[in-house]
Amino acid sequence: MNRPLLACLIALVLLVVLPHLGMGDYYINLFSQILIFALFAASVNLIVGYGGMISLGHAAYLGIAAYSCTWLVTHGYGQLTAALGALMLTTLVAAVFGMLALRATGLSFLMITLALGQIVWGLAYRWVALTNGDNGMALPARPAPFGISLNGATSFYYFALLVFACAIFCIWRMVHSPFGAALKGARDQPRRMSMLGHDVWMIRWLAFILSGFWAGVAGLLFIYYQKFVSPYALSLQQSAEVLLMTILGGAGTLSGPVVGAVIVTLVKNVASSYVERWNALLGLIFVVAVMFMPHGIVPGLVQWRRAATRRKAKAVGLVPPTAEPPRADTPRPAPDAKLERSA
């Protein structure tokens, strides 16, 4: 068995037994929250990490899914209809927004996503008749798939874990698929890719839609968990936070956004009960991480370990100092480096 697969299985087993380690509901809920944001960050990573397109408006898709699901349920539709309708609407909005944002690349792309995100936020805030404005909307109840109640902390955690695992599996398949290869190629050498017959715009657009879809799935989990959504879910801060998770953990790696989501959510929830200025703490972590691991924590750790094995091998005299060839899975440069190139 290869090592990444083994690591995945160990992580999955750990996640499954987690609620049985004698923790209170508070921590189990915290883990559910981490799963939701990890999925959200993974959806952002699709375009930021693999596509090289930095979006600062991704909260829109999380929020649209949450709002539309709530609206449908409160207007008498069933939970399944509401969930499917919310996902369809979110994907559709992502398709339209993607079409607008992809008229540009680099910084201009980022600004358009930001503007579109703010429009959605503004609608949620001001269109009181539809969204109840600042007061937000409450979801009457969590769904009960196949009659299983999700009201307990543990049962909801397992539900979130199941959705999360399925989503990560799909994203993993995509990353290693021909489409994933084309997406990464379009990130690294867009001109060459079109000269090889790839429709770079279409590749990016489809990736954008996929990313919006998974953000919508995260939005459904979000509303089921909170049972309440307010314009804050759509805010710029939400978009920035999820981008921070992705870049902190390591954009363009599968586990990076998950690690980032763990750190940010823990700092937000746990540290905030001890430290008043937890935002500053988060900022400090980010600065330190970027100083020592400019590509994010996961690629940074991989590099450190590689350097350590090299030092050890050198000490034993096994390899000359320059013998270590770069490996195929060498971390990519951070997306901000890409920005300069495409600008």
Q: Which residues bind other proteins (CB under 8 A)?
A: 173-174, 176-182, 185, 188-189, 191-200, 206, 210, 325-328, 330, 332
Least distance to other proteins, CB of residue 236, Å: 30
Least distance to other proteins, CB of residue 42, Å: 15
- Sequence length of the chain is 343
Helix (H, G, I), strand (E, B) or coil at 229: strand
Give the torsion through C-alpha atoms of 307, 8, 260, 276, to 10 deg: -110
Q: Report in angstroms the alpha-carbon separations of 124 from 6, 74, 128, 276.
A: 44, 16, 7, 29
Please say whether the dihedral angle defined by the alpha carbons of residues 251, 255, 260 and 261, taken in this order, is positive or negative: positive
Structure tokens at 80: 């399944």
Asked whether the beta carbons of 229 and 67 are under 8 A apart, the reply is: yes
Nearer to other proteins, 61 or 213 (CB): 213
Least distance to other proteins, CB of residue 185, Å: 5
Least distance to other proteins, CB of residue 109, Å: 20
Nearer to other proteins, 21 or 195 (CB): 195
Asked whether the beta carbons of 221 and 35 are under 8 A apart, the reply is: yes
Nearer to other proteins, 115 or 339 (CB): 339
Least distance to other proteins, CB of residue 180, Å: 7
Nearer to other proteins, 22 or 325 (CB): 325
Residue whose C-alpha is closest to residue 25's, from 140, 135, 153: 153
DSSP string, 51-104: T----S-THHHHHHHHHHHHHHHHTT--HHHHHHHHHHHHHHHHHHHHHHHTTS
Nearer to other proteins, 195 or 316 (CB): 195
Least distance to other proteins, CB of residue 106, Å: 18
Least distance to other proteins, CB of residue 214, Å: 12
Nearer to other proteins, 76 or 178 (CB): 178
Least distance to other proteins, CB of residue 3, Å: 16
Per 3-state DSSP, the chain is made up of helix, strand and coil in percentages (nearest 5) of 75, 0, 25
Nearer to other proteins, 133 or 185 (CB): 185
Q: How far apart are CA 315 and CA 57, in angstroms?
A: 49
Nearer to other proteins, 203 or 258 (CB): 203
Nearer to other proteins, 231 or 252 (CB): 252
Least distance to other proteins, CB of residue 40, Å: 20
Q: Report in angstroms the alpha-carbon separations of 105 from 53, 188, 195.
A: 7, 13, 18
Which residues lie closer than 8 Å to 216 by C-beta, 6 or more apart? Answer: 61, 62, 64, 65, 86, 87, 90, 91, 94
Q: How far apart are CA 1 and CA 193, in angstroms?
A: 34
